[in-house]
Amino acid sequence: MSASNGRRPPLTADRRYGKPAGQANGTAGGRSGGGGKTPRAAKPARKARRTRTPRRQPRGPLGWLAALVSGLMRLVLRIIWGVSWRAGLALGIVIGLGVAYYAAQLPPVTDLVDGRARGSVTLLDREGRTFATRGDQFGGMVTAQTVSEDLRDAVIATEDRRFWWHPGVDPQGIASAIRINLSEGRGPLSGNGGSTITQQTAKLLCLGRPFDPEVWKNEAEYEADCRRTTLWRKVQEAVYAMAMEARYTKEEILTIYLNRAYLGAGTRGFEAASQRYFAKPAGTVGPAEAAMLAGLLKAPTTYAPTNNLSRSQNRANVIVGLMEQQGYLTADEAAQARANPAGLADGADQRTGGYFADWVMDTGPEFFTRDTTEDVVIRTTLDQRVQAAAEEALVRVFEERVSPGSEAQAAIVVMGADGAVRAMVGGRNIEAAGAFNRATQALRQTGSAFKPFIYAAALDLGMRPYDLVEDSPLTISIPGSGPWSPENYDRQYAGMVTLTEALAQSRNIPAVRVSEQVGRENVRTVASMFGIDSDLAAGPALALGVSESTLLEMTGAYAGILNGGSSVEPYGLVELRLKGDDTPLMGTGGGIGERVIGQQAAQELVYMMSRVVAAGTGGRAQIDGWEVAGKTGTTQGARDAWFVGFAGDYVAGVWMGYDDNRPLTGVTGGGLPATIWREAMARVLAGEAPKPLPMRRPEPPQPDMPPQTVSSGDLSAPVQQNETEQHLLDVLSNILGGGN
């Protein structure tokens, strides 16, 4: 023990902080020391000193700069955050209001499936087969449930694989599209758009703006504006798409899309496209056909199977691959689709009669053809076999007989004796539609092809095919112009010739003499009544075909000669009705009209024209086994070359020339035009039994009854008036007096 008498010395902690409260008496556990001294009272605890904050070291220049930058950044971040959440909230409110507004404006689905601004016209040939369509074809409404499952899957796999899950906008798809566009060197909005099916439908609906003819000049301009891609338009489409998602079910949105999408060849909607390409409903197509239809969505015209079948099939293979990757097709089903690609239905790729279809559309009433808002069906006079024959003939002759690179053009018209047009080719581009039609729109000088109307008037006024006319130099004094001296093509003169010989050899001077003898007005009347509606020349040059006409007019006028002397109005429209209706709204717009010359005169003229082919300038038009009659025509300077004639029940006309009126080189009516005519008509008549022409072969003149001679003296003196002339004058009187 220490000298402290058993007491432990105070601990350092005790001295520092004082004893615990339970040890106030200095004993452990609060016990009193028995007999010990009373402990001294503890000193009061010292007041705790206030802790000093360490002094900061003064900042250097870099410290102050760092602090300043840090403070500015914190301030900027606070400002950005404050602006961002407020702007985000405002934007969310605006988008919400936009979605609500659009959703409230959206009509029922059935009002949106057919969004065409105009109707369609389906043109049928004489046998009731479709050969052309105009306008937008709509096959009728289909739904997401009524189309085949393969077609529905193909569309989703191709256009929007997350269609069933997104709210109308797919951020992942947009980001992927922007990445692809930038990686390929395009702008972020150029090329792949990342649009969902809902956004594409919003574009097809043009954000709810219907076509207004007072705003857009035509439907094409309207659709171009609807397809315009800008950042603001993308924003609008996104808002509209979300509104559609709020208003319609996914199936309804897909239904609108399936009906409004353009799929090439004038088809709107998958039902019309399926019928157009495969001749079957959209509800029955298989994987290969569905893939081909879905493949059209990227570029309808480019991938249309009627435009390029192999390219369309290659595109379909890509779609089949997507369907396989996304689980819509098994590997075996995909392999089967690739091994058996979709093909076109019979006749689906036929491109014939485009010029004819355009002509019918132009001749029909505008509100039922070019500007129709209804779906119209027109039955026509077109014979597709005859049309194909004319097209093949034109192509073959130009390939074999015309130098490559030539810009010369040609046109063909084939019709019946009643004016029913069976074929029409308006130029060398036989597949053209909406192009310049040289058969109906080109006014060209007729040349010697006009001469049959001179002899028609002469025969109707009592002349006969064996009557004589003088082929010798001729000069006519024209008041105000001086003397006029026509020449023959070969600048030779044959002396006295028959009317038949003069026509067969296309002698100019005999034609002028006959025209002057019978009277120019009579010739003009006959030509006009036969259908030459153009402004006919008033002077003696009328006989040389200086007046202009169209090939359709000329062919129709010749048809009047074949049918026995009655005029015809060429026509192509037989019946027009609304689709689904059985009652026609209108019928035939042409046919045989009033008689122009007597039947005997017409039959004698047919005989004279047959000699043109058998022994005259039209020899190249001969067809083995068939009687052929016609007339060649070559204008001054060889700017136009014609051959118009008939065989069997058909009348056909061919014109050849340059659009800019340049002279042809080495071409006359008896050359290439007659060759084209023969090639076409030989195909048209193939397989038919030869049929004689309705002609009357005149008896040779008897010694006691010599032929008449056209006067070579006073050309203005008329021949003796007879019953036929009186008939012609009566008809002319009725026309001038307003009679029928």
Q: Are 356 and 574 in contact (CB under 8 A)?
A: no
Question: Is 603 or 32 the better-scoring residue by pLDDT?
Answer: 603
Question: Is 60 exceeded by the pLDDT of residue 43?
Answer: no
pLDDT of residue 44: 53
Taking 60 as the threshold, does the pLDDT of residue 1 lie above it?
no
Backbone φ/ψ region at 661: left (φ over 0), alpha (ψ -120 to 50), beta = left
Give 417: exposed, middle or buried? Use CB within 10 Å, 0-12, 13-18, 19+: buried
Whether the predicted pLDDT of 578 surpasses 50: yes
Q: What is the pLDDT of residues 584-597, one digit of tens each?
A: 888 887 889 999 99
The secondary structure of residue 492, as a DSSP letter, is -
Q: Which tokens is 104 given?
A: 């409230």
Q: How much is the pLDDT for 700?
A: 76
pLDDT bracket for residue 717 (50, 70, 90): very low
| Of the candidates 236, 74, 61, 253, the residue with the CA atom closest to the CA atom of residue 163 | 253
Confidence of residue 673 (pLDDT cuts 50, 70, 90): very high
* Residue 537: how many other CB atoms lie within 10 Å: 18
Gap between the Cα atoms of 86 and 88, Å rounded: 5
- Residue-wise pLDDT tens digits, 537-574: 889 999 999 999 999 999 999 999 999 999 999 999 99
> Beta strand 376-380 with 120-124: parallel, antiparallel or unpaired?
parallel
pTM for the model: 0.76
Strand partners, 477: 483
State the sign of the Cα–Cα–Cα–Cα dihedral 658, 662, 666, 667.
Answer: positive
Name, of 43-47, 115-119, 183-187, 628-632, the range with top average pLDDT: 628-632
342 touches 288 (CB < 8 A): yes
Contacts 24+ apart (CB under 8 A), 522-528: 522/457, 522/461, 522/728, 522/732, 523/453, 523/454, 523/457, 525/457, 525/728, 525/731, 525/732, 525/735, 526/453, 526/456, 526/457, 526/460, 526/596, 526/597, 526/728, 527/450, 527/453, 527/557
Structure tokens at 429: 């581009």
Strand order across the beta sheet in which 573-578 lies:
130-135, 120-124, 376-380, 573-578
Higher pLDDT, 637 or 35: 637
User: Span 681-700, mean pLDDT?
Assistant: 93
**Confidence at residue 6, expressed as pLDDT on a 0 to 100 scale:** 45
Average pLDDT rounded to a whole number, residues 100-113: 87
Phi, psi of 716 (to 5 degrees): -85, -10
- The candidate with the shortest Cα–Cα distance to 413, out of 520, 618, 561, 559, is 559
Give the model's pLDDT for residue 90: 74
For 397-416, how does the pLDDT look when each residue is reduced to its tens digit (9 = 90+)? 999 999 998 999 999 999 99
Statement: residue 688 has pLDDT above 90: yes
What average pLDDT does range 442-446 have in this prediction?
Answer: 95
Task: Kindly give, in sequence order, each residue whose CB lies less than 8 Å from that of residue 547, ignoring residues fewer than 6 positions away.
Answer: 445, 446, 450, 532, 534, 535, 536, 537
**Residue 736 pLDDT > 90, yes or no?**
no
Residues 6+ apart with CB under 8 A from 648: 626, 685, 688, 690, 691
Which single residue is written with the structure tokens 């009679």?
739
What pLDDT does 118 receive? 78
pLDDT-derived band at 703 (thresholds 50, 70, 90) equals low
Neighbour-count burial of 69, counting CB atoms closer than 10 A to its CB (0-12 exposed, 13-18 middle, 19+ buried): exposed
Return the pLDDT at 33.
40
Identify the band that residue 701 occupies on the pLDDT scale cut at 50, 70 and 90: confident
Q: How many CB atoms lie within 10 A of CB 592?
A: 16
More confident call, 180 vs 125? 125
Q: Which residues of 597-609 are buried (b: 16+ CB within 10 A; e: fewer)?
A: bbebbbbbbbbbb
DSSP three-state, residue 696: coil
Span of 180-194, 360-374, 448-462 with lowest mean pLDDT: 180-194
Does position 89 have pLDDT exceeding 80, yes or no? no
Q: Structural domains in the chain?
A: 137-339 (1.10.3810.10), 442-570+592-655 (3.40.710.10)
Residue 707 carries which side chain, given as an amino acid letter? P
Residue 299: per-residue pLDDT: 92
